A and B are shown apart, each in its own frame.
Chain A
Amino acid sequence: MADLKREKSGRIVFTKEMKKEYTILVPDMLPIHFNIMKNIFTNAGYKIELLDNSGESVKQLGLKYMHNDICYPALLVAGQFLDALKSGKYDVNKTALMIMQTGGGCRASNYIHLLRKALLKAGYENVPIISFNLSGLERNSGFKLTLPIIRRMLAGVIYGDLIMLLSNQTRPYEVKKGDSDRLIKKWIAELSKQFTASKGYSFSQMKENFEKVIKSFSEIKLKKEIKTKVGVVGEIYVKYAKFANNSLEKFLADENCEVMVPGLMGFLMFKVDARVQDFLIYGGSKIKFTLAKALLRYLEKIEKAFMEAIDKSRFTQLSSYNDTKPLVDNIIGLGNRMGEGWFLPAEMIELVKHGYDNIVCTQPFGCLPTHICGKGMVHKIKSMYPHANIVPVDYDTGATRVNQENRIKLMLSVAKEKLLV
């Protein structure tokens, strides 16, 4: 069995031996994307298990072991991990946890430390936690983001975005229920197969795949129906994870809506661009600036291919990352980079501009960055786009679903009235 190696700080390092023996648990935030990612890591020799455990008892575990004023996403993720460790499904001596560490001015960069404290409290101090980050915050000899993995992952992100975008536009109108979800399954399997064969992530192959995916979705038979178009934005975790947002997308679907959820690539580009913007605003290391810029270029290229492919189809897409920047002129500065930063109001505006002017802005209760860039920008956006119909909704362990749904229904009533006019 792999030995436990601790750093001076007491942190357990995820070693190469562990890579062979350990199962890594990852909370599932975005099913399509994360399933693609899972297969990438499996191919690289990791044992990955996506956690989709949910429910009140999971929340209670989070509350029990975390500071109760910490962000909702942190509580939920801690609850999911602890629930999994307690479930008996995993050998706790051969299980590791993985969590995203963004490294910015928001509390999220501290989740991993709080999680460690929680594990200690709960008696799992020997369970290693892997920080998933691109800023070199914590290193582990047994977990390395190599270039081949990164390339596959970036391709995975864009495929995930594409499949999510298309299925959101077909599922509500399907003649035969389940068509879209069947295609999702098919494509996750197909793309994973390609990755295994070291295919599917070069530009030419991506372009080819884009067209195939789009073609398959455009062959789904659809009913002609008018639905309320709703955009969902917000803090990244509650926006995507149905455990956090009380299955918001399903609720909206039941309310006869078509939902547009902006993809992950834009957020990724925003995070990389933050380094570029910091340099431009405050000055700093030229090397880091050049590196960030180069990475951004690469992402722009992927994004461009993706957009060109959709352009040729009948599907609606949002603006390119760079085109969202002018949208926030006179609204918020590009230096606003913690959490979702300026990109959140930019997403709201582009949704408004693309016909999704009814918007749910999801925020964890007491989330610091979204005080500013979520709720705080609604007034300004509405004054510039009077037809924007935005409802900020707080998510929290104590917030009742009825209250949330009631507020969303108000937004929908206004939307439906507009639909009649």
Chain B
Amino acid sequence: MKIGLDIGSTTIKSIVIDKANKIIYSSYERHFSQITAKTVEILNTIKNKFKNQKFSIAISGSAGMGMAESCDIDFVQEVYAEKVAAEKNIPNSDVIIELGGEDAKIIFLGQTMEARMNGTCAGGTGAFIDQMATLLDIKTEQMNDLAAQHDKIYTIASRCGVFAKSDIQPLLNQGAKKSDIAISIFYAVVNQTIGGLAQGRPVEGNVVYLGGPLTFMPVLRECFDKTIGTKGVCPENSLYYVALGAAYCAKKETVIEEAIDRLSKYISISEWAKLPPLFENEYEYNKFKTRHSKADVKYASLSDYNKNTFIGIDAGSTTIKAVVTGENGEILHSVYMSNSGNPVPVIHNFITELYKLKPDIKIKASCVTGYGEDIIKNAFHIDSGLVETAAHFTAAKYFMPDVEFIIDIGGQDMKCFKIKNGVIDNIYLNEACSSGCGSFLQTFANTLGYDVEEFSKMGLYAKNAVDLGSRCTVFMNSSVKQAQKDGASTGDISAGLSTSIVKNAIYKVIRPSSVDELGKNIVVQGGTFINDAVLRAFEKEMGVNVIRPVIAGLMGAYGCALYAKTLNIEKSSILNAYELKNFSHSVKSVNCGLCSNNCRLTVNSFGDGSKYIGGNRCERPVTKNTSVGELNIYKFKQDYIKSLTPTNKGIKIGIPLGLNMYEMAIFWYRFFIELGFDVVISPLSDRDIFLKGQATIPSDTVCFPAKLVHGHIKYLIENDDIKYIFYPCMSFNFDEHLGDNNYNCPVVAYYPEIIAANMKIKEGVTLINDYVGVHRKKDFSKKLHTILSKYFNNIKLGAVKTASEKAFEAHDEYMKAIREKGIDIVKKAEKLDKKIIVLAGRPYHADPEINHGIDTLLESMDTAVISEDALSGFVEKFRVNVLNQWTYHARLYAAAKYISDKSNMELVQLVSFGCGLDAITTDEVRSIIEKAGKIYTQIKIDEITNLGTVKVRLRSLLTALKQQEEKLNG
């Protein structure tokens, strides 16, 4: 008999087969990280069931790797095991798709077997679905049924779990239906799997679905079927294929008792990086607790209070906080509760209860902040909304008037700000990658069966706390799994997680060079800081004592209440008891259709006829205002590209509108038109274009703008009239004399090679991806003539020379047009007394699918938008502290320098996730901006479509600027 064990990240599967390879026993159990003990238990069960038998045993699954080897048991790599099992049982299968707790795999069988597992960054498929279920406040098992009832599908980022969560969180707060979100999550999983793993090899033929999520969730299988365009099968025993394959591969005959004996004695010898304990002893902890209990507010009894009251609400990502204060800031009532995936009923309950507690309450004013600000404000007629940063600052200032630094860690976001002269001087907000740390702690605690408080307490005295570094929660999750395997205790992990959250805040968000930079008076707040372990980890890591208000978790709400008092309203418009009773809420999702963004809108209707629309990137669906684009250079750039239409004369050459082509297309368009060709430029990107090409992307960690190129090529291939696609490699860019060299970034320079190597270019279509150099105008026409002569007959050198001249002219004209448009916008904005925002990035950030409409968002916030290339031409070369060797990046430094002495201009830098070069440019741009005494704002964008966090960031900036100005003007 043969035994196969599949030890996965959360479960152990076992299979016993007889001599005829027939399955005679199987089991499927969760191991709760007790891997060795569980394995021993399973083997004992098998031993007792099949007495006096001879066995060969093989272990598979990454969690069993070290153990199998030390215990002298055969180890079979899990994908390989799966392949063996599939070949035996489903001989005609072509592709296997398997989703597990941690890994996603695609195996291509047939002539050339290829197996792919997700890269580290896209880990945790099953774990991701679990996490999302927690977010939706449902059981994982309910996900499938919920998804089956959907009407609409939202676009959710598919790069990884953290990014997807950033899209889902705001959707929940906009009132999107859980069923629609559930199906959207499934599609995110599908897109992540196909986009990350197909890598150019078509998923076709007989598809087999294996693993837990695909076995238990038929709707998820349907999503795969629809995307691939096939009907896959989920075979009998689909959970056991790895175990089965391991059993087939088991060779060495073993006495089962001996194997069990070896396993029982096995203690993982792996070591992990350890941190010193948070507290050495109870005495130390008590001292710490006493110190922090001092920072408290005044309280008063609600029922005895007959003066005016103020309500502050903080509708956060995972929790909802509300505070009722009296005239002197005393807290009369407060609540702190989970938002259960929908803030509306929670707030409804809160206000209803409040009226019950104090029927004659005098509410003077109310204010709301947080993710749910807009929906709550509209639903309950709250008087005012406030951006989170302002709310937190107001509260902290009340506590400590001379506060110098505030750090707020909530469930999803981290917000830190430096205060100078009583106003916000600098804002540091986390980007997508370090988001969700706080709620991760909670979800993780829950999966182990603890609540978060209990869980974090377990880490206070941990002697061998696991050092989990400061990577995102996906990495944390897999590091924790590894630590569990290595035998770390729950306490060790708890302490490690608390420290890791703090490290994320310090090293990824604030990045101070020393404690001094934060000043002496530091206030920490936010729900996550309620945890003593997190607080202690922060103090230890920074080597400084901080103030944590006792109401740390309520600070946003408290700030709102304090702010409400300053509103000078006679009586709050908040719904009264009668209105609350008749309150109703319905949700509909529609497509906007007012512009090419075509946002998916969530329309919330409330009983009294008021409405709230979410999901929009601009105010158009709300105000129906159509005069957009006038003070927006991005619109101008898009129109410029759109004006390059085909002439319908001559051989058609297709140009993909991707990466540097946002600028170079203008050059090449003129070049080829002059040569008598026709030019078809692919359109501005949209979601469909992205999906078209996603199966051919070889590197899942490359930037989103690069990924989009695949769709543009596909678009051109689909046009039967196009016989040539022109997308040249360019190591160098134009020399604009701003830097030490004029390179393109490696991805921009060589992406055409990726297209040639990974995309099937249709028969009869030629991809021209030769190396060309616009930096050497002198040699350009001769080199181009040689290249073109390879593809076309009768290309005359003279003609190429003329065309080149015209092309260089066209480029100069374009750059000039941008500068002039820039000046024009600046002048108009100055007349209207509007702030001018330099939305600085690269040429391709003009694409609406890449910038997600941040330009229009800024416009709707009453600012004018220009780009870095509108200003860089006015700047002389100057010294920066890095090697300034990329043309596009030199423009960033120049634009930053340009605005240094302009009081009406601010810079917001757009950074695409995965852009390695921006790890260099952001720090340098920041230092130029900060040297000028300005606030630096960075927005990291990827496939994430929801602008929730971006809004917070921009509003924070604008609010801080306004406060600074008010201070200045007395």
Contact = CB atoms under 8 A, between A and B. Distances in A.
A335 B783 CA distance: 13
B119 interface: yes
A64 B200 CA distance: 38
Interface stretch (B72-80, B180-188, B556-564, B814-822): B72-80
A271 interface: no
Interface stretch (B234-242, B751-759, B795-803, B843-851): B751-759
A333 B513 contact: no
B353 to A, nearest CB: 44
A367 B757 contact: no
A394 to B, nearest CB: 6
B482 A400 contact: yes
Interface in A340-381: 365-369, 371-373, 375-380
B312 to A, nearest CB: 35
B161 to A, nearest CB: 14
Nearest to A114: B920
B771 to A, nearest CB: 3
Nearest to B771: A335
A409 B729 contact: no
B62 A406 contact: yes
Contacts of B922: 67
A333 B746 contact: no
A332 B746 CA distance: 14
Nearest to B940: A69
B62 A402 contact: yes
Given A67-B923, A366-B701, A368-B746, A121 B757 contact: no
A107 B917 contact: yes
Contact of B783 (A55, A282, A368): A282
B65 interface: yes
Nearest to A121: B513
Given A56-B467, A336-B750, 6 more contacts: A63-B507, A70-B920, A282-B732, A282-B779, A336-B731, A336-B753
Contact of B750 (A367, A372, A386, A401): A372
A106 interface: yes
Nearest to B482: A400
Contacts of B467: 56, 60
A338 B749 contact: yes
B832 interface: no
Contacts of A372: 746-747, 750-751, 753-754
B485 interface: yes
13 contacts: A106-B746, A114-B882, A335-B771, A339-B746, A368-B917, A376-B754, A377-B757, A378-B199, A394-B121, A396-B120, A398-B120, A406-B77, A414-B80
A378 B698 contact: yes
B750 A413 contact: no
Given A368-B745, A410-B115, A398 B475 contact: yes
B699 interface: yes
B143 to A, nearest CB: 26
Which of A110, A376, A380 is packed against the most chain B CB atoms within 10 Å? Answer: A376
B77 A413 contact: yes
A369 B201 CA distance: 22
Q: Interface range on chain B: under 10, 10 to 19, 20 to 34, or 35 or more? A: 35 or more
B769 to A, nearest CB: 8
A335 B731 contact: yes
B257 to A, nearest CB: 28
Q: Which of A59, A110, A368, A413 has the most CB of B within 10 A?
A: A368
B746 A371 contact: yes
A410 B80 contact: yes
A109 interface: yes
Contacts of B201: 379
A283 interface: yes
Contact of A368 (B113, B511, B747): B747
A109 B771 CA distance: 22
B783 A376 contact: no
Contacts, number: 215
A382 interface: yes
B117 interface: yes
B616 interface: no
B776 A386 contact: no
A284 interface: yes
Contacts of A193: none
B943 to A, nearest CB: 16
B121 A107 contact: no
Nearest to A138: B883
Contacts of B811: none
Contact of A109 (B273, B770, B885): B885
A107 B920 contact: yes
A331 B754 CA distance: 10
Interface of A: 9, 55-57, 59-60, 63-64, 67-71, 104-107, 109-110, 112-114, 116-117, 120-121, 137, 278, 281-284, 331-333, 335-339, 365-369, 371-373, 375-380, 382, 386, 394, 396-403, 405-407, 409-410, 412-414, 417
B273 A113 contact: no
Nearest to A412: B77
B968 interface: no
B115 A109 contact: no
A401 B479 CA distance: 10
Contacts of A60: 273, 467, 469
Nearest to B107: A410
Nearest to B76: A413
A398 B482 contact: no
A113 B753 contact: no
Nearest to A137: B883
Nearest to B113: A414
A397 B470 CA distance: 9
B417 interface: no
Contacts of A137: 883
B758 A367 contact: no
Contacts of A284: 776, 779
Given A57-B273, A69-B919, A105-B749, A379 B65 contact: no
Contacts of B749: 105, 338
B23 interface: no
Contacts of A369: 746, 750
Contacts of B511: 67
B914 interface: yes
A338 B750 contact: yes
A269 to B, nearest CB: 19
Interface in B895-928: 914, 916-920, 922-923
Contacts of A386: 111-112
Contacts of A399: 120, 475
A63 B62 contact: no
Nearest to B881: A113
Nearest to B483: A400
B380 interface: no
A105 B753 contact: no
B112 A71 contact: no
B927 to A, nearest CB: 9
A402 B485 contact: yes
- 8 closest A-B pairs by beta carbon, nearest first, are A283-B779, A56-B273, A282-B773, A398-B471, A335-B771, A398-B475, A413-B80, A105-B743
B771 A281 contact: yes
B954 to A, nearest CB: 22
Interface in B616-645: none
A390 to B, nearest CB: 10
Contact of A365 (B65, B80, B120, B919): B120
B702 A371 contact: yes
Given A67-B922, A114-B882, A338-B746, A376 B478 contact: no
Contacts of A367: 916
A63 B754 CA distance: 31
B508 interface: yes
